Structure 1
Amino acid sequence: MVVIFRVKVVFSVEFLYIMFLFSGAFKESLNAPFDLAAIFLGLVLLKVVWGIIKRPVIKKSLIIPGALVISLLFLMLTSTMITGLTDSSIEKVIKFVFLTMPTFLLPFIIIKNKESIQKVLLSVSILSIVLSLFAFPMIINRTGLFVGFNNGNYQGLARTTGIGFIALAYFYLTAKKKVKLFVLPFLIIVSVTLISTGSRIPLIAIGAIGIYALINSFVIKKSDVLIKKNSIAGLTLAAVFIIVIPFLFSKGYFQTIVYRFKVLFEDNGGGASTLGRVDRIQSAIEMFKENIIFGGGIGKFGQFYIGTEGVYAHNIFLEFISELGLIGVLWLMVFLTFVLYHSVIQYKRANRYLDSLQIALISGFLFFFINALVSGDINANRALFAFGGFLAMSPYLKSEVKKASSKIAMQ
């Protein structure tokens, strides 16, 4: 493994990008006199501009995603012209331009090879470990229902530790034996933090990915069940969690997440959180019916739902269909098809099979996609677009390496 736990990764453009992407999980807790997301984005852009000055080349791989994201901006602006401007619609468009657009496009600029993607996963690992260590006092001395930063932003911590778990699992499964022993304690710490946050969906997403990985660890024949050789490390990890998690539960930890899953099956229909989402589904459908083609207007769902701005549908499909209509849903389907095509079909053409690094990226994208089905709006779920960018960029990496090798051979 090329980049495992190198100190210099914290000075890389990949690390700065990850800090920009997940700064919402912790930035308000630091009480900084400036916006950390803007600072990290500015540093990333400075590095990108300096790289372009040194090598003034724009990759062809940037053209299609650039056209995609600009077309969505055009749809948003068209929506405001048809339905009118509100404070919420202005805020949503501004956040899209200055946060979500660069989130999606920057991977096509900063990712140069497989080592760059490994740096991304390493950066995610480092951030999730640091946040988990800071959260541990809250876990041990529980004073509230949830564990999180920014006055209770448990979902931000859950998303960060969730993707951190995937990244650390990748390093654990692909590392040599000595490195596995080094990674394992951090993987357990991040896992405990994830479960302790009290957020259900990130845990469900990780569970679904884990079950899929477990199923693919075996080969069933007529009279035998064979274990794949490269799955032994993963099964060992699963065995460790089977021992550690029940032990911690017996000591009184994880009560919040147990309670939150328990209410899903109670007579009240899953608690206020679940009932609120059901109401949003009904309102989104009604809003769509009133304007099938263009939707009710970007950022207008809150007004339609309860007459208050800043409220969203808590589902990315409902958000697009209610605010941007059929045209918006069509755009979302094109985006998902674009990512799927490049992450699986194009990648197999370039590399013959999906390797562990690509599977880690696909797991990350699925993790954020499942989150986007129940939480946040388009800007809050920009990590989905980030991993969509990583996946769409990954098929080009092998060809880039081949081109570089050919140039060296000709010199």
Structure 2
Amino acid sequence: MTRLIKFLLSKEFFFVLFLTSGYFKSSESKIDITFVCLLVTVVLALKDMPNKMEKVTFRLIVVLAFIYALILIGFLYSPSASYAIDKLIKFTVLTIPAFLIGIMILQSEESVKRFLKSIIAVGVTMSVFAIYLFMSNNAGIGFIGLGDGNYLGLGRVTGLTFLILMIWITFSRMPRIKALLTIAVALLVFAALSISGARMPLLAALAVGALIVLRSVRIKNGVVLVSSGFKYLFSLLIVGVAFVSWLFSKGYLDTIIYRVSVLFTEKQGGVSAEGRLDRYNEAYEMFVSSPIFGKGLGSFTIFYNNGVDINDYPHNIFLEFLSELGLVGLIGFLVLIFLCLTPILKSGFKGMKLEQSALLACFLFLLLNANTTGDINDNRMMFAFLAIIFKVGTIKRKEFETVRSVKVPTEQSGGRIKGRQLA
């Protein structure tokens, strides 16, 4: 019980609550959970903040400050008023803190593990509530979400949770009982993801999940290398197919099947996809018109909606930078991504740690989502994961568990089994 209380009061858990609170809080609540969790996280993080900042960390801060300066300047010449102000405020009080706290908060292996476990805790809790709502409402065609019905938020959190569990199943050395329990939890979370109706989170989770499966098996010099938890991954896939078939037979997947089928059966992928294509085209035209500095912060909505100043955006984070902040803004964003991924890029993705693999899978998932929905502030969790990936790569500790594989007996290997790091 003491360990549970310590976990629930940790800075990592409150940080995850800050990042995900917008996905389950209600607009009718008198207390803003997001800012409460942000305040608590900052207070707890400052207690353990290191005295000196590393030089490479300082470079990240400089690039982030450069992007922020562009946003401030873009606000000055933007034709938008309402949305531009909203966007500037949210970037200042939500997105920047998400990135900076991601750098400050993780100082050890245990801290990284607590962060990932916190995501699982929130994801599983949201999954249980979502399934309960689905079953109690006898839902057929329709979306499932918490708080104000944020189905995309539910999809993102459950997608992240599923991928983290999948990484642990595939690459860690777990006892059989723990592995089977993890598989059961992963299936529960995947069920919540599937019934949410969130199309892109499901497709992104399947795409990144396929990469995890591909990385679990390699052939080198005629020797087949499989991950240490390959048998459990195989079990997850087999049981998962049977489980999804059962969900399909009960009609629980009607919403997501309908939404995915629209992409292939209706003109231009349906109304939703067609609207995104129109936005992509408008954002590109804005970039062509003002290629260097763009049209200004929040300006997309003015051009796309014929002067109406509402919350609207290109639904693609790269086109958002290009259309509103131009090439200069996009280059700043790309440099930030490159610096954060530098520790992994330097290693050539070889010998990655278990935690790095989980964080990278989550980042890829969030990046795919950022290119179909949400503006820069809606995707602040992606910025947080960027910072955390960078931080994990700079933690100089040897306790991290290395992603491992085993050599499958073949004629070339003489039937021997040997532990080996999966490159």
Residue of structure 1 equivalent to 2:417: none
Q: Distance in 1 between matches of 2:4 and 2:351?
A: 28
2:414 aligned residue = none
Which of the numbers 106, 114, 117 marks the counterpart of 1:119? 114
Matched, 1:73 2:71: no
Distance in 2 (CA, whole Å) between partners of 1:202 and 1:109 is: 28
**Hey, what's the Cα distance between the residues in 1 that align with 2:219 and 2:168?**
27
SS in 1 for 2:30: coil
Task: Give the superposition deviation at 1:398.
Answer: 2.1
The farther-off stretch of 363-372 and 69-78 is 69-78
Deviation of 1:222 after TM superposition, in Å, equals: 9.3
| Contact 1:62/1:105, CA 8 A, preserved across alignment | no
Equivalent residues in 2 for 1:301-312 (5 A)?
A: 301-306=300-305, 307-308=307-308, 309-312=310-313
How far residue 374 of structure 1 moved from its aligned partner, in angstroms, is: 0.5
1:321 matches 2:322: yes
Report the equivalent of 1:365. Answer: 363
Q: CA deviation at 1:370?
A: 0.3
Q: Could you say if the C-alpha distance between residues 159 and 390 of structure 1 is closer, same or farther in structure 2, counting changes exceeding 3 Å?
A: same
Measured in 2, the distance between the counterparts of 1:66 and 1:399 equals 23
Instruction: Provide the C-alpha distance between the structure 2 equivalents of 1:110 and 1:61, rounded to a whole number of angstroms.
Output: 16
Counterparts in 2 of 1:257-276, with a 5 A limit? 257-276=256-275
Q: How many residues align?
A: 392
Deviations 1:39-96, CA, capped at 9 Å, x for gaps: 00000111123334xx644454531221121111100111123336612111111110
Report which structure shows greater RCO (CA 8 Å, sep ≥6).
2
Letter in 2 for 1:273: S
1:7 shift after superposition: 5.1
Take 1:364 and 1:101, find their aligned partners in 2: how far apart are those partners? 19
Report if the CA contact (8 A) 2:169-2:229 is conserved. no
- After superposition, the C-alpha distances for 1:110-141 in whole angstroms (9 at most, x for unaligned) are 10112111111100000011111111123222
The one-character-per-residue Cα deviations of 1:311-361 (angstroms, maximum 9, x if unpaired) are 01100011000000111111122122112222332696xxx6112221111
Task: Tell me how far apart the structure 2 counterparts of residues 179 and 394 of structure 1 sit (CA, whole Å).
Answer: 25
Q: Which residue of 1 aligns with 2:403?
A: none
TM-score where L is the length of structure 2:
0.87
TM-score, normalised to structure 1, is 0.89
Residue 229 of structure 1: how far off its partner (Å): 4.5
1:172 shift after superposition: 3.4
Alignment root-mean-square deviation, CA: 2.3
Aligned counterparts, 1:24-35, within 5 A: 24-28=22-26, 31-35=28-32
Quote the offset at 1:228 in angstroms: 4.6
The secondary structure found in structure 2 opposite 1:219 is: strand
Is the 1:59–1:109 contact (alpha carbons within 8 Å) kept by the matching residues of 2? no
Structure 2 partner of 1:287: 286
For the Cα contact (< 8 Å) 2:195–2:255, is it kept in 1? yes
Alignment of 1:168-187 (within 5 A): 168-173=165-170, 174=172, 175-187=174-186
Corresponding residue of 1:97 = 92
Amino acid corresponding to residue 25 of structure 1 in structure 2? Y
Deviation, 1:391, is 0.7
Separation (CA, whole Å) in 2 of partners of 1:41 and 1:369: 23
Residues 60 and 221 (structure 1), Cα distance of their counterparts in 2 relative to 1, 3 Å cut:
closer
Counterpart CA distance in 2 for 1:236 and 1:104 is: 37
SS at match of 2:395: helix
Give the stretch that moved more between structures: 67-76 or 208-217: 208-217
SS of the residue corresponding to residue 28 of structure 1 reads coil
**Residue 316 to residue 144, structure 1, CA distance change in 2 (3 Å):** same
CA contact (8 A) 2:80 2:302 kept: no
**1:62/1:109 contact within 8 Å kept:** no
When residues 171 and 11 of structure 1 are mapped into structure 2, their CA distance, relative to the original with a 3 A threshold, is farther
Task: Say if 2:140 and 2:252, in contact at 8 Å, map to a contact too.
Answer: no
The answer (yes or no) to whether the contact 1:145–1:198 under 8 Å persists in 2 is yes
Conserved? CA contact 1:113–1:400, under 8 Å: no
- SS across alignment from 1:269: helix
1:77 is paired with a residue of what secondary structure? Answer: helix
Within-5 A mapping of 1:11-410: 11-28=9-26, 31-52=28-49, 56-83=51-78, 86-140=81-135, 141-142=138-139, 145-173=142-170, 174=172, 175-220=174-219, 227-306=226-305, 307-308=307-308, 309-345=310-346, 353-398=351-396
**C-alpha distance in 2, partners of 1:167/1:395?**
18
User: For the structure 1 residues 84 and 270, does the alpha-carbon distance in structure 2 shift closer, same or farther, using more than 3 Å as the test?
Assistant: closer
Q: Which letter maps to 1:12?
A: S
> Which deviates more, 373-382 or 208-217?
208-217
List gaps (5 residues or longer) in structure 1.
403-411
AA of the residue aligned to 1:20: F
Q: Which structure: greater helix fraction? A: 1
- Secondary structure in 2 matching 1:27: coil
Alpha-carbon contact 2:18-2:34 (below 8 Å) kept: yes
Distance 1:221 1:347 in 2: 17
Cα distance in 2, alignment partners of residues 224 and 400 from structure 1: 28
Q: Which residue of 2 aligns with 1:405?
A: none
- Tell me: CA distance 1:222–1:40, structure 2 relative to 1, closer, same or farther (3 Å): closer
| CA 178–97 in structure 1, closer or farther in 2 if over 3 Å, else same | same
Task: Label 1:343 to 1:223 Cα distance change in 2 as closer, same or farther (>3 A).
Answer: closer
State the alpha-carbon separation in 2 of the partners of residues 394 and 304 from structure 1: 41
Aligned to 2:416: none
Deviation at 1:252, TM superposition (A): 1.3
Give, in angstroms, the shift of residue 191 of structure 1. Answer: 0.6
Q: Distance in 2 between matches of 1:40 and 1:271?
A: 39
Identity value in percent: 33
Counterparts of 1:327 and 1:261 in 2: how far apart (Å)?
Answer: 36
Greater displacement, 364-373 / 241-250? 241-250
